[in-house]
Amino acid sequence: MNASEPLVRVEGLTHYYGNHLGCRDVGFELYESEVLAVVGESGSGKTTLLNCLSTQIVPTSGKVMYRFRDGHVENLFDMSEAEQRVLLRTDWGFVMQNPRDGLRMGVSAGANVGERLMSVGNRHYGNIRKTALDWLERVEIDPTRIDDSPRTFSGGMQQRLQIARNLVTSPRLVFMDEPTGGLDVSVQARLLDLIRRIVADLGLSIVIVTHDLAVARLLSDRIIVMKNGKIIEQGLTDQVLDDPHQPYTQLLVSSILQVGA
C-alpha cells in the first residue's frame, strides 16, 4: 500500500494493427491524483495508447503494471477478460469523445448514471436515484431532467452526463479521449473547468488525450508528446510547454495561441 509507488507503470507498450504501427515502445508512470495529458498530431497513436491502457485492445507487446486498491501490482494483460471488465466498470472510467458512444441514448439520464451502480450489485431503487440526482447536480445538470433522454440534451450536457456516469462508482483512474473535441469554445471552457474541479475534489488519476495544448496546460500535471506512435518528449506540463526540447514540440507549442497560460 505504498502511495509513492506509481498507480500505473507502462513498459515497452507496442501495438501493431497488422503491419501498421499504432504505437511503439511507450513507457511512462502515472501516480495517484495525477493528470497526464497525451498530445500529438492526428495519427500519432494517442487513441491506440489509451485503448491499450484500458485493455480495450491487447497490445502486440509490452506491459501495463497496475496497482490495485489492496496494494498488489499486476500486469493488466495477465488478467482474464472478466477481471478486466470488472476493473473497467469499478476502478476505472472511460469518457469518449463522442458522448453518443459513451452513453446509452435509449434510456434516461438517471438510468445512465445509475447503470454502474446496478452493475456492481446495487438493488435499491431509491438509493440509486438519490445518487444519480446528486451526480447530476455535481456535473451541473438540472436534476429535474433526471428522467429525460440524453437525446434531448445539448452536446455539453451529454458530455457532462457521460462524466457523471463514469464517476458514480468512485473510480481511481479515468481515461478521456478528446472529451472536449466536438464542443464550441465556451462550452469547452465550462467542461474543462468542471473536470478540473471534480478531479481535484476526488483526487482522481486521469489520462487525457487531446491535440489541444491549451487543454493539456489547463488540466494536466504531466504531459507526453507523441509522434509516429512514439513518445518523443515527456515531463511536467509547464516545463515541456514553456521549454520544449524537441523541434516537433517546439513547433506544436509555437503554432498555438497560449490560452490560459
Partner 1 sequence: MSLDTISAEAPAYNFAYLDEQTKRMIRRAILKGIAIPGYQVPFASREMPMPYGWGTGGMQVTAAIIGPDDILKVIDQGSDDTTNAVAIRNFFKRTAGVAMTFRTADASIIQTRHRIPEEKLRSDQVLVFQVPIPEPLRFLEPRETETRKMHALSEYGLMHVKLYEDIAHHGHIATTYAYPVMVENRYVMDPSPIPKFDNPKLDNTPALQLFGAGREKRIYALPPYTRVKSLDFEDHPFSVQDWPDTQCAMCGATGVYFDEVILNDLGERMFVCSDSDYCEHRQEAGHFGAEHASYKERMK
Ligand X SMILES: Nc1ncnc2c1ncn2[C@@H]1O[C@H](COP(=O)(O)OP(=O)(O)OP(=O)(O)O)[C@@H](O)[C@H]1O
Q: At what angle do helices 185-202 and 155-167 cross, to 10 degrees?
A: 10
Size of the site for ligand X (CB under 6 A): 12
Rounded to the nearest whole angstrom, what is the least distance from the CB of residue 122 to ligand X in the complex?
34
- Residue 130 in contact with partner 1, rule: CB under 8 A: no
- Residue 166 in contact with Mg ion, rule: CB under 5 A: no
- Residue 19 in contact with ligand X, rule: CB under 6 A: no
* Nearest alpha carbon to residue 185 among 257, 102, 99, 241: 257
Q: Are 205 and 35 in contact (CB under 8 A)?
A: yes
Among 211, 230, 232, 235, binds ligand X (CB under 6 A): 211
Judged by CB under 6 A, the stretch of 41-49, 74-82, 122-130, 141-149 that binds ligand X is 41-49
C-alpha grid cell for residue 200? 481535484
C-alpha grid cell for residue 64? 501495463
Rounded to the nearest whole angstrom, what is the least distance from the CB of residue 205 to partner 1 in the complex?
24
Element (H, E) at 254: helix 247-254
Q: Are 204 and 173 in contact (CB under 8 A)?
A: yes
- Residue 124 in contact with partner 1, rule: CB under 8 A: yes
- Residue 146 in contact with partner 1, rule: CB under 8 A: yes
End-to-end CA gap in the chain: 36
* Nearest alpha carbon to residue 27 among 254, 232, 198, 238: 232
Q: For the residues of 192-248, what is the DSSP string, one character each?
A: HHHHHHHHHHHT-EEEEE-S-HHHHHHH-SEEEEEETTEEEEEEEHHHHHHS--SHH
- Residue 128 in contact with partner 1, rule: CB under 8 A: yes
The Cα-based distances of 46 to 116, 177, 180, 231 in angstroms read 26, 8, 15, 10
Among 100, 125, 243, 246, binds partner 1 (CB under 8 A): 125
Among 58, 118, 256, 259, binds partner 1 (CB under 8 A): 118
- Residue 156 in contact with partner 1, rule: CB under 8 A: no
Judged by CB under 8 A, the stretch of 77-85, 151-159, 189-197, 205-213 that binds partner 1 is 77-85
- Residue 150 in contact with partner 1, rule: CB under 8 A: no
Rounded to the nearest whole angstrom, what is the least distance from the CB of residue 127 to partner 1 in the complex?
8
Rounded to the nearest whole angstrom, what is the least distance from the CB of residue 128 to partner 1 in the complex?
7
Neighbours of 31 (CB within 10 A): 17
Rounded to the nearest whole angstrom, what is the least distance from the CB of residue 22 to ligand X in the complex?
4
Q: Are 98 and 41 in contact (CB under 8 A)?
A: no
Can you give the binding site for partner 1, defined by CB under 8 A?
81-82, 85, 89, 104, 106-108, 110-111, 114-116, 118-120, 123-126, 128-129, 146-147
Can you give the binding site for ligand X, defined by CB under 6 A?
17, 20, 22, 40, 42-48, 211
Can you give the binding site for Mg ion, defined by CB under 5 A?
47
